Structure 1
């Protein structure tokens, strides 16, 4: 009995494994290049009229320190897996609103720039060390630093033409940055046994140290 014999050697070749690492390297390079060309002194200054949603949406994107911290939250959640993938990114903007209220109310809160710089260092170090923190502790860390980021945003809210729309804008932008961090962590984070995520964590730590030096200076 004759039949068609399938030649298993004639399979469609899989995409080169080097493609994903090259994409990860490109993303990391772009982030570092953008960070190095940014002026830390203007990280929290939004130019132009404070019109509402658009200004609020622009603010987290215009400050590299905010962006790196929010990206790190998403990346760390993806690295830990489980419920932390969504719990950390949900907790951060919620508690950030609390810090925003404190900023609007004019409550004295010293060391905002130091707190923001430390948030980048701590979150980056957690990613670099691939730290599987207990859920309650990870949420506490994220919530603690979210207050500083929220305060920095909230302190500018009274200048906005529409403070409520401005607040919605920066919360939406924050959520989008978290999603990007999660996506990078899930797509590239486990390449080379997790070394890609850890390398990104190391870059985030270096950026945090840069901001810490500027905050102290």
Structure 2
């Protein structure tokens, strides 16, 4: 089951259509970095869903998955800043919204390590998009800004999960995941 889960993430990310993430404003300051994840549904929803899914999974995932997201995102940022070019980043980001929403809607339960693998792969693409957009002279302030914003969104998702308490199997949480997956499909369809 774990290999199927990781295979789904990799297959989806690697077969998605190619399109470059486009800048949506200045990328040369802490403030611009902080604002970026809040300016697009793709980042906003995916990051929040990671926090929610980590709480729904419980145990070590509550800490491990959000930390993994942050670390892998910074790895993707560093790779893009160093010149690594990937043509399907935007599609992979949209796909992350679809997958994370589906995982919540379908109550997908995985242990910590397969979750770390999936979240790490998805987060890498989010970070790569940030690195592609960043102004070379201002990488550190921009990265600090989007890292703080990511932490805020992860905490929002985690807080939602904690507030839901015993609601993981409820229609509300599953419907939220399903709606997020549909939004992700819409975003993915908009790339064509």
Q: TM-score, normalised by structure 2?
A: 0.84
Cα offsets for 1:36-56 (capped at 9, x unmatched): xxxxxxx85332x43411110
Instruction: Name the residue aligned to 1:136.
Output: 113
2:77–2:129 CA contact under 8 A, matched in 1: yes
Instruction: Name the residue aligned to 1:92.
Output: 69
Matched, 1:210 2:189: no
2:56–2:168 CA contact under 8 A, matched in 1: no
Coordinate RMSD, CA, aligned? 1.8
Q: Which runs of 5+ in 1 are unaligned?
A: 1-42
Instruction: Name the residue aligned to 1:45.
Output: 23
Cα deviation, residue 91, structure 1:
0.6
2:168–2:174 CA contact under 8 A, matched in 1: no
- Give the whole-Å Cα distance in 2 for the aligned partners of 1:54 and 1:189: 34
Residue 110 to residue 44, structure 1, CA distance change in 2 (3 Å): closer
Q: TM-score, normalised by structure 1?
A: 0.75
Matched, 1:63 2:59: no
Matches within 5 A, 1:57-206: 57-157=34-134, 159=135, 162-188=138-164, 190-191=166-167, 193-206=169-182
- Give the whole-Å Cα distance in 1 for the aligned partners of 2:27 and 2:188: 28
- Give the whole-Å Cα distance in 2 for the aligned partners of 1:142 and 1:192: 19
2:75–2:124 CA contact under 8 A, matched in 1: yes
Aligned residues: 173
- Give the whole-Å Cα distance in 2 for the aligned partners of 1:208 and 1:58: 21
Which one has more relative contact order, counting CA pairs under 8 Å at least 6 apart? 2
Cα deviation, residue 160, structure 1:
5.8
Q: Which runs of 5+ in 2 are unaligned?
A: 1-20
Cα offsets for 1:7-64 (capped at 9, x unmatched): xxxxxxxxxxxxxxxxxxxxxxxxxxxxxxxxxxxx85332x4341111000111111
SS of aligned partner of 1:206:
helix
SS of aligned partner of 1:155:
helix
Bigger radius of gyration: 1
